[in-house]
Amino acid sequence: MTDLFTPRILLLAFLSWLIPFVASFAFFGPGGVPWVPYSLFKSLMVVIFGGVGLLLMLRALRGSPVTVSTGLAIGLLFLVVNVVLDVIVLLPMTGMGFVNWLYDIGLRYLLIPIMGWGLGRAGELSRAG
């Protein structure tokens, strides 16, 4: 399991945060004025985050035996990286408190280890025939 924490996989985990973060800027105009309703923005970000996260997790799992424990480990690594970067960058940038962040964004990050577990389970089932 130690070969999961390589620079390549850490880079993929970082990209799972960076790509949606950068994409979010497309929905705001000058001075941070949103171009779309907030509820639409949140829905779009979940779709972007989920799609990007899934593709990057698949890439991270490439070359490893895909098991529940491998998928879950990668999902948890991606989760930790996303939470830490949000606390370091997003919370100060938005002025959002931790509890508000947790309600508005943080709980959605639980999708990351769930997707990792699901990918691992799918890998095990595909080998079982």
Give pLDDT, residue 93: 92
Per-residue model confidence (pLDDT) at position 2: 53
Round to whole Å and give the CA distance between 38 and 42: 6
Q: What is the pLDDT of residues 27-61, one digit of tens each?
A: 999 888 889 999 999 999 999 999 999 999 999 99
Question: pTM score, two decimals?
Answer: 0.91
pLDDT at 63 (0 to 100):
83
- Please state the domain extents for the chain: 2-128
Query: Which residue do the tokens 């930790």 mark?
Result: 80
What pLDDT score does 127 carry?
81
Give, in order, the Cα–Cα distances in Å from 75 to each of 105, 108, 114, 117: 17, 13, 7, 7
Q: Are 69 and 94 in contact (CB under 8 A)?
A: no
Residue 36 CB neighbour total at 10 angstroms: 13
Residues in the chain with pLDDT < 70? 1-2, 129
Please report the pLDDT score of residue 103 as a whole number: 93
Neighbour tally for 76: CB within 10 Å: 15
Per-residue pLDDT, 3 = 75
